[in-house]
Structure 1
Amino acid sequence: MSENSESPTPGGPQPETLRFFGTTWVGHDNGYGLRRVGVACGALVVTVAACLLMRFAYQGVQIADVGSFVSVLFVAVFGICSAVAFVRTWDGFRRRPADPAREESLRSLKAIGFIGSLLAYFFRSLTEAPGERLLRSEYETAVTQYEKRRGARAGNPAARRRPKSKRK
């Protein structure tokens, strides 16, 4: 990595902040490792709590004695929604959504399948800050473009030597 990608370029592009990490993901400094461990543990604890909550909800459906169809439907809906939420959340860490309106329409589905989103957050935090790869690639591209533009404009244009014209 170049020095420019590890610290913000003065006057250049600034890195975006990540939830729970700020801009520590740029140089992996200021307790980045501890934050990742904390986020992973927190996501796992919240996932377990969410599973317990779903268990209590399922027991409520069982106690209500609404029938096996509703019980199966309950499990199927939450299972499918959790799987879709996992995939959508996982993909969101790798690339920006192509259609933000579609992502907005899937917001309620991701809310129902919140356990899948929590699991994706947990698994991603084991390897990096969730969303770090996406932001790092965008930031490095912006820094490269900034440096290229700055290099092209360097110096006083009036002081540049003019190319010799061909005489006939």
Structure 2
Amino acid sequence: MSEENGTPATPRGPRPEPIRFFGTTWVDHDGGYGARRAAVAAGSLLAAAAACLVLRLAYEGLQIAAAGTLVSLLIVVMFAVCSALAFGHTWGAFGKRPDPERQASLRGLLAIGFIGSLLAYFVRSLGEAPGEKLHREEYETARAAYEKRSSRRTGNPSRKRRRS
């Protein structure tokens, strides 16, 4: 709060971008950041385990339907390859902004390999909030640029002496 007029004081400069499930608690690691990281890790691991159970039931359905060994093998290989690719793509997206066009073209692969994405989310949340490193780098770069811009603006520009 501003002491002069009682209005809320707004912070100057760039604002941090919120991260899903964490908001802006990643900046100072406050507001239950540790508990949120633990909850996200547990939730993503639990979701991956539940997804594996569902896939196991689907595989057993293929066995009951006697779809054949080749079909069963292709299904297992498809989910394994798509999960590995989804893990790699999700892991890479934590370090740099993904290209929107590439993201759109990989949507089907990521949907099939959702277990890989969940596992990448789990592994990353053990060390930090997923995407925190990328957001921190961008935020610190924006803060440094803001500080540089605002430190140059001293004095009244209309009183600036002109060179002849």
TM-score, scaled to structure 2: 0.89
What are the within-5 Å matches in structure 2 for residues 1-168 of structure 1?
Answer: 10-97=11-98, 99-159=99-159, 162=161
Q: How many residues align?
A: 155
In 1, the alpha carbon distance for the partners of 2:143 and 2:39 equals: 30
After TM superposition, where is structure 1 displaced by more than 3 Å over at least 4 residues in a row? Answer: 162-165
Percent identity of the aligned residues? Answer: 62
How far did residue 155 of structure 1 move? 2.2
User: 1 or 2, which has the higher helix percentage?
Assistant: 1
5+ unaligned residues in a row in structure 2: which ranges?
A: 1-9
Q: Deviations over 1:46-91 (max 9, x none)?
A: 1110110110011111111011100000001000000000000000
How far did residue 153 of structure 1 move? 1.4
**Residue 55 of structure 1 aligns to which amino acid in structure 2?**
R
**Residue 146 of structure 2 aligns to which amino acid in structure 1?**
Y
How far did residue 163 of structure 1 move? 9.1
Q: 1:164 to 1:72 in 2, by over 3 A?
A: closer
Q: Secondary structure at the match of 1:51?
A: helix
TM-score, scaled to structure 1: 0.87
Match of residue 3 from structure 2: none
How far did residue 128 of structure 1 move? 0.2
Q: Deviations over 1:92-119 (max 9, x none)?
A: 001012x321111101100000000000
In 2, the alpha carbon distance for the partners of 1:89 and 1:137 equals: 18
In 1, the alpha carbon distance for the partners of 2:54 and 2:79 equals: 12
Cα-Cα RMSD: 1.6
Q: Secondary structure at the match of 2:130?
A: coil
In 1, the alpha carbon distance for the partners of 2:155 and 2:32 equals: 40
